[in-house]
């Protein structure tokens, strides 16, 4: 078990913290290069269990990050499929 947490973990905790200032949450979300899709979905979807609504600024940045991440994963999957089809030996 690591002694210190990763920076990505700390940023995710700030993003999910409802009591954190809005600007801190937005900054943390912008700093993550590839945020987990489950985190972004939790920010975007309204649920009956949520007591405090997600601020509009956080929701807007989460929507942009979600679109970027989905596009990134589609491109990465296509590159992997192309790389598997051809190899150096031509087999």
Domain map (residue ranges) of the chain: 7-85
Specify the pLDDT at position 88.
Answer: 63
As a whole number of angstroms, the distance between CA 2 and CA 68 comes to 30
Query: pTM here?
Result: 0.85
Q: At what angle do helices 7-16 and 37-44 cross, to 10 degrees?
A: 10
Cα angle 14-16-19, degrees, rounded to a multiple of 5 = 75
pLDDT digits (tens, 9 = 90+) for 5-59: 999 999 999 999 999 999 999 999 999 999 999 999 999 999 888 889 999 999 9
Specify the pLDDT at position 91.
Answer: 63
């Amino acid at each position: 078990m690591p002694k210190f947490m990763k920076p990505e973990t700390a940023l995710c905790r700030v993003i999910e913290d409802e009591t954190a200032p809005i600007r801190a949450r937005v900054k943390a979300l912008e700093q993550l290069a590839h945020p987990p899709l489950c985190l972004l979905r939790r920010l975007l979807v309204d649920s009956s269990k949520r007591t405090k609504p997600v601020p509009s600024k956080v929701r807007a940045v989460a929507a942009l990050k979600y679109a970027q991440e989905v596009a990134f994963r589609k491109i990465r999957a296509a590159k992997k499929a192309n790389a598997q089809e051809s190899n150096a030996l031509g087999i």
